[in-house]
Amino acid sequence: MMQQANLPTHIGIIMDGNGRWAKKRGLPRKMGHRAGASTFKEIARYANKIGLKYLTTYVFSTENWKRPKDEVDSIIELLRSYLNEMDGYAKENIRVRFIGDRSVFDDDIRAKMQRAEEKSRNATGLTLILAINYGGRAEIVHAARMLADDVQAGKIFPHQVNESLFSSYLYTDGIPDVDLIIRPSGEYRLSNFLIWQCAYAEYVFMSGVLWPDFKPATLDAAIAEYNSRSRRFGGLANE
Ligand code: IPE
Ligand code: IPE
Ligand code: MG
């Protein structure tokens, strides 16, 4: 385990490359998703171990419904079985949270999500955020709609709307902005992930690794790269 001198507060990971990982091995894509799920569990535990406060992982995007039905179904089934294992997180002091539009999922899945969130509510270690049926634009539009409702109801006046009030309508209410985005697999884009929250994030694209092969040491390497960057937030560097 590396020395984490300057651990970012919030890391986002776009868990990409499952399909290519499977293809390289002559396996069906769903086997790539299965391998990716086990990598996810390992990395979440490791993030907690090194003392990370927030980890958001991109599990399923609002655009991923475009994929063939059997692939989508296999991802939802993986999610369902993973949700059954989530009771252990409270014991590990990991707090779980889901972001995205969960209204489309079956009742049992929604109930399990709620249960995982409630059971781990008081954990003080890592906050593990799973983005499921998540899209950054959909999130912003959803926030705007709720805000408009509150304005119409007379709870808020338009002149009160500022960045911090707007943020409180996002799924990520209460979660600090993203410091570091990591994307393996050789794609250099955000794919609609946390577009509001990434305004000043650092990006580390790791083209040599597909998500199922991502290791704790890969996370260490991304954090080391983050530590070599100079974040200025529009101001001037200290040194
Ligand atoms: C990421 O892996 C998992 C999801 C998007 C659900 P992909 O399935 O996108 O893998 P590639 O990009 O096809 O290799
Ligand atoms: C982003 O990956 C979504 C997830 C990792 C869940 P995609 O594989 O769907 O992104 P694109 O299509 O390559 O942009
Ligand atoms: Mg992909």
pLDDT score of 1? 58
Q: Which ligand is nearest to the CA of 62?
A: 2
Percentage of the chain beyond pLDDT 70 is 97
Q: What is the mean pLDDT of residues 158-163?
A: 98
Give yes or no for residue 90 having a pLDDT over 90.
yes
pLDDT score of 5? 65
Q: Please work out whether the CB of residue 113 comes within 6 Å of at least one atom of ligand 2.
A: no
- Choose among 21, 60, 199: nearest CA to 138: 60
Q: How far is the CA of 192 from the centre of ligand 2 (A)?
A: 9
Q: What is the pLDDT of residues 174-183, one digit of tens each?
A: 999 999 999 9
Q: Which ligand is nearest to the CA of 33?
A: 1
Fold category of 4-135+176-227 in CATH = Undecaprenyl pyrophosphate synthetase (3.40.1180)
Q: What is the mean pLDDT of residues 82-108?
A: 96
Q: Where are the domains of the chain?
A: 4-135+176-227
pLDDT score of 43? 98
Q: What is the pTM of this model?
A: 0.97
Distance of CA 128 to the CA centre of its chain: 8
Retrieve residue 48's tokens. Answer: 């907690």
Q: Please work out whether the CB of residue 42 comes within 6 Å of at least one atom of ligand 2.
A: no
With beta carbons less than 8 A apart as the criterion, state whether 223 and 200 touch.
Answer: no
Residue 158 DSSP one-character state: G
pLDDT score of 6? 87
Distance CA 70, CA 41 (A): 23
**Ligand 2 closest atom vs CA 14:** 5
**Ligand 2 closest atom vs CA 189:** 14
Distance CA 117, CA 90 (A): 9
Q: How far is the CA of 82 from the centre of ligand 3 (A)?
A: 21
Number of separate helices (H) and strands (E) present in the chain: 8, 6
CA-based max dimension of the chain: 59
Give yes or no for residue 3 having a pLDDT over 60.
no
Retrieve residue 99's tokens. Answer: 């972001």
Q: Which ligand is nearest to the CA of 210?
A: 1
With 0-12 / 13-18 / 19 or more C-beta atoms within 10 angstroms meaning exposed / middle / buried, residue 130 is buried
Retrieve residue 81's tokens. Answer: 């079985």
The CA R_g of the chain, rounded to the nearest whole Å, is 18
Distance CA 20, CA 31 (A): 11
Active site residues: 16, 64
Helix, strand or coil, per DSSP, at residue 38: helix
Query: Dihedrals φ, ψ of 88, to 5°?
Result: -65, -20
Mutate-to-test residue for ligand 1 from 13, 14, 15, 18, highest number of ligand atoms within 8 A of CB: 18
Give yes or no for residue 229 having a pLDDT over 80.
yes
Q: What is the mean pLDDT of residues 223-239?
A: 91
pLDDT score of 167? 98
Distance CA 135, CA 146 (A): 17
With beta carbons less than 8 A apart as the criterion, state whether 120 and 91 touch.
Answer: no
Q: How far is the CA of 38 from the centre of ligand 2 (A)?
A: 18
Please provide the distance, in angstroms rounded to a whole number, between the alpha carbons at the two ends of the chain.
Answer: 29
Percentage of the chain beyond pLDDT 90 is 96
With beta carbons less than 8 A apart as the criterion, state whether 186 and 209 touch.
Answer: no
Query: Dihedrals φ, ψ of 220, to 5°?
Result: -55, -45
Q: Please work out whether the CB of residue 189 comes within 6 Å of at least one atom of ligand 2.
A: yes
- Please report which helix (H) or strand (E) contains residue 206, including its range: strand 202-206
Q: What is the mean pLDDT of residues 70-81?
A: 98
How many C-beta atoms lie closer than 10 Å to residue 230's C-beta?
9
- In single-letter form, the type of residue at position 11 comes to I
Q: What is the pLDDT of residues 11-34, one digit of tens each?
A: 999 999 999 999 999 999 999 999
Q: How far is the CA of 179 from the centre of ligand 3 (A)?
A: 22
